[in-house]
Amino acid sequence: MTTLRVAIVDDHAMFRTGVRAEIDGPVDIVAEAEDVDSAVTVIAETRPDVVLLDVHMPGGGGLEVIRRLHLRHPDTKFLALSVSDAAEDVIGIIRAGARGYVTKNISGPELLDAINRVAQGDAVFSPRLAGFVLDAFAGTIEVAQVDEEIDRLTEREREVMRLIARGYAYKEVAKELFISIKTVETHVSSVLRKLQLSSRHELTRWANDRRLI
């Protein structure tokens, strides 16, 4: 297996240095960028496999980077990294096309694992992201205003999401539900796809509504 080529996009130089120190070697860090414009340029130039993308950045944030690059370079995978747990931003960046979300206090080995997973086309769901997703799709089973299959989670997908939110690793989810890890990954990818494709109006105004309750 060839080493993965990774780009780090973050406006905090100290954080870039820290990540580089932690993961350089097992993966090949080909580019660094500190704002949206420079990120778009270097990513288009170096074509990394995985981009570690800060959520908040000058020029419109990580969302804008994905928006500008996703169509032109569909092979480049994005993994969102953030210190903020603002649900609307996390869901927003996943909907734009990121394959996963991790917080910045993630350990080096965990980050490497997440990078590998994303590079293989799988989704990286932290417990927090699983919680946000359940929240975003909450209530759709019984309300069922929208009939489209893409607009709700199947019972199995919800189960998987709930276990991930409870802190189960994919392996543990598989064991708990008596299914293979591959099946868990399929469910997670399917949830990711629904999250990205669903035009459920709840998903767009959901962030505002959560605060209203």
Partner 1 sequence: MTEYRRAYRPADRRLVGGVATGVAGHFGVPVLYVRLAFIVATWFHGMGVIAYLLLWRFLPLRQPDLSPGLESATRRGLRTSGRPGAFEVFQTIALGAVGIGVMFMIQASGRGIAGGLFAPLLIGVIGLAVIWRQFDDAAWGRWMRQTRGLGFALRVGAGAVLVASAGIYFLSQERGWSAIVDLASAVAVAGLGLLLILGPWITKLLGDLSDERRERVRSQERADVAAHLHDSVLQTLALLQKNAGDSAVVATLARRQERELRAWLYGNDEKPGDSLVAALRASAADVEDAHRVPVEVIAVGDAALDPDVAAIAKAAREAMINAAKHARVDRVDVYAETDGRTVEVFVRDRGVGFDTDTIAEDRMGVRGSIIGRVERHGGTATIRSRPGEGTEVALSVPVRGDTNQAEPPTAPVPTEEVSP
Q: Which residues bind partner 1 (CB under 8 A)?
A: 11, 55-61, 63-64, 67, 83-86, 88-89, 92, 105, 127-128, 130-131, 134-135, 138-139, 145, 162, 165-168, 201-202, 204-205, 207-209, 211-213
Q: Write the CB contacts of 106 (distance below 8 Å, at least 6 apart in sequence).
A: 81, 114
Query: Of 4 and 114, which CB lies nearer to partner 1 in the complex structure?
Result: 114
73 vs 128 by CB, closer to partner 1: 128
CB of 170 within 8 A of CB of 184?
yes
18 or 60, CB closer to partner 1? 60
CB of 4 to partner 1, least distance (A): 27
Nearer to partner 1 by C-beta: 2 or 105? 105
What is the closest distance, in whole angstroms, from the C-beta atom of residue 119 to partner 1 in the complex? 25
Smallest gap from Cβ 212 to partner 1, in A, equals: 7
Give the shortest CB-42-to-partner 1 separation in angstroms: 19
Q: Map tokens 């299914």 to a residue.
A: 179
Task: Residue 192: name the closest of 84, 71, 77 by CA.
Answer: 77
**Residues 6 or more apart in contact with residue 93 via CB below 8 angstroms:** 53, 55, 61, 62, 63, 66, 78, 80, 101
Given a contact cutoff of 8 angstroms between Cβ atoms, the answer to whether 40 and 69 are in contact is: yes
